Amino acid sequence: MEFPAPTIIHADADLLVVDKPAGILSIPDGYDRAVPYLGGVLEPSYGRLWVVHRLDKETSGVMVFARNERSHKALSTQFSSYQVSKTYHVLIDGNPDWEENTIEVPLRTNVGRRNRTAVDIANGKDAVTHFRVLERFPRHALLAAYPKTGRTHQIRVHIYDLGYSILSDPLYGLGNLSPFIGRLALHALSLSIWHPTTGELITFEAQYPKDFNEGVHQLRLIASASQDGG
What residues act catalytically? 56
Are the beta carbons of 186 and 166 closer than 8 angstroms?
A: yes
One-letter-per-residue 3-state SS of the chain:
CCCCCCEEEEECCCEEEEEECCCCECCCCCCCCCCCEHHHHHHHHHCCCEECCCCCCCCEEEEEEECCHHHHHHHHHHHHCCCCEEEEEEEEECCCCCCEEEEECCEEEEECCCCEEEECCCCCECCEEEEEEEEECCCEEEEEEEECCCCCCHHHHHHHHCCCEECCCCCCCCCCCCCCCCCCCEEEEEEEEECCCCCCEEEEECCCCHHHHHHHHHHHHHHHHHHHHC
